[in-house]
Amino acid sequence: SRHHRIAAIPGDGIGKEVMPEALRTLEAAQRRFGFRLDVTPIAWASCDYHAQHGQMMPDDWKAQLQGQDAILFGAVGWPATVPDHVSLWGSLLKFRREFDQYINLRPVRLFEGVPCPLAGRKAGDIDYVVVRENTEGEYTNLGGVMYPGTEREIVIQETVMSRFGADRVLRYAYELARSRPRRHLTVATKSNGIAISMPWWDGRADAVGADFPEVTVDKQHIDILSARFVMQPGRFDVVVASNLFGDILSDLGPATTGTIGLAPSANLNPERRFPSLFEPVHGSAPDIYGRNIANPVAMVWSAALMLDFLGEREAHDAIVRAIEQVLREGPHTPDLGGQATTTSLGEALAQRVAG
Ligand code: NAD
Ligand code: IPM
Ligand code: MN
């Protein structure tokens, strides 16, 4: 069907500023391409629901969202009033886990017209996808502080990786690599220093890779891999990483393409047993909130990824083309050295999508 139910959760800070621009673009896309979105706005964040109820979401949040086809998410986090681990574990990280969104797809691309912080790179030179494991790994709440308040205080926090969890994200990454022209996969590792989980992870990459002889693979330790994101970004096609390594790479990569304000993400439950969630890579940016200067492209591109996942391929393509044109022609928001506002960029994008 071409009728999709969407929950829109703007969240905190600039989430509230960029979400309206995504909705504006989606309006234009619906008019042009003839599908229908049923959008339910939901105010579950630090500065609204938490301020009133002392928790990020109602207890029945899962039942309220289960019938949605997708969730469009801005960002949460307002550390001035709610500690970050409370707001994130009460919201975004819950969605990823309980809706089993085990793939976090984070494309990185250098656009024409965008000043690149790396010398001598032009559009097309940086074009890869980070596939981040999104439900386990370094993000656990297993552990604790022992002998608190004493000089012998100890803190332990476990990393958990399962064969089931590793294999499914590795398989997804191999399949994605196989579908792209270069058919290359980089496996982020740290099997020299993290001597239990990471050699095991490399072994799972080999085992799953046996089904993908067409895909060339290189394993790189996360330290030098990070350096190569800066020095040799053209080496990368698909990069698969554990939860924390993927988190770090997916801010670093976009930084090399001008700004994290461009970077989108898709938190996918590929089997569609649960709604998938689409959000910018960036956070709520309290430092710029309220000035109408946040770059809305990451949010708008995330909305396009959502449409692609919902089967609206043409609308996705039109939004990506609009982003290309608007970035090429300018003006840009301040994160790219310009003076444009969030609203004016959003309007320019929606106008292009309207055709
Ligand atoms: P951040 O991504 O919010 O901001 C980092 C820097 O990038 C800031 O200087 C900010 O102004 C700038 N920036 C981010 N997005 C931008 C945009 N669209 N346009 C222009 N500039 C942009 O990261 P942070 O400062 O580490 O975190 C702030 C809050 O957001 C914290 O509460 C954090 O936990 C939360 N956070 C939430 C998410 C999420 O919900 N997905 C992601 C990251 C951080
Ligand atoms: C991201 C964010 C989150 C993460 C934080 C806010 C918990 O940085 O989506 O990249 O670490 O996954
Ligand atoms: Mn992050």
The ligand minimizing its distance to the Cα of 285 is: 1
CATH 3.40.718.10 in the chain is located at 1-107+264-355, 127-256
Q: What was the pLDDT predicted at 38?
A: 98
Q: How close is the Cα of 251 to the center of ligand 3, in Å?
A: 6
Q: Whose CA is nearest to atom 7 of ligand 2?
A: 88
Task: Report how far apart, in Å, the C-alpha atoms of 304 and of each of 9, 143, 310 are.
Answer: 16, 39, 10
* Helix, coil or strand: residue 303: helix
- Give the pLDDT score at 74: 98
Tell me which of 259, 284, 301, 323 to substitute to probe ligand 1's pocket, judged by most ligand atoms within 8 Å of the beta carbon. Answer: 284
Task: Give the pLDDT score at 240.
Answer: 99
The pTM of this model reads 0.98
Cα 284 to ligand 1 centroid, rounded to whole Å: 5
Average pLDDT, stretch 20-44? 98
Contact 53, 87 (CB under 8 A): no
Mean pLDDT over 191-210 rounds to 98
Any idea what the Cα angle at residue 269 is, between residues 135 and 25, rounded to 5°?
A: 115
What is the model's pLDDT at position 1? 79
Q: Which atom number of ligand 2 is nearest to the Cα of residue 279?
A: 9
**CATH for 127-256, among 1.10.1660.10, 3.60.20.10, 3.40.718.10, 3.40.50.300?**
3.40.718.10
Distance (Å) of CA 146 to CA 142, 159, 181: 13, 18, 51
Q: How far is the CA of 70 from the centre of ligand 2 (A)?
A: 19
Task: Copy the structure tokens of residue 255.
Answer: 């930084």
Q: Is 189:223 a contact under the CB 8 Å cutoff?
A: no
pLDDT of residue 44: 98
pLDDT band at 311 (very low <50, low <70, confident <90, very high): very high
Nearest CA to ligand 1 atom 25: 285
* pLDDT surpasses 90 at 266: yes
pLDDT at 166 over 90: yes
Q: Which of 56, 251, 282 to mutate to test the pocket of ligand 1 (most atoms within 8 A of CB)?
A: 282
> Residue 113: pLDDT band by 50, 70, 90 thresholds?
very high
Q: Distance, CA 287 to ligand 1 centroid (Å)?
A: 9
- Fold annotation for 1-107+264-355: Isopropylmalate Dehydrogenase (3.40.718)
H/E element, 317: helix 313-329
The 10s digit of each residue's pLDDT in 202-226 is 999 999 999 999 999 999 999 999 9
**What is the share, in percent, of the chain residues with pLDDT greater than 90?**
99
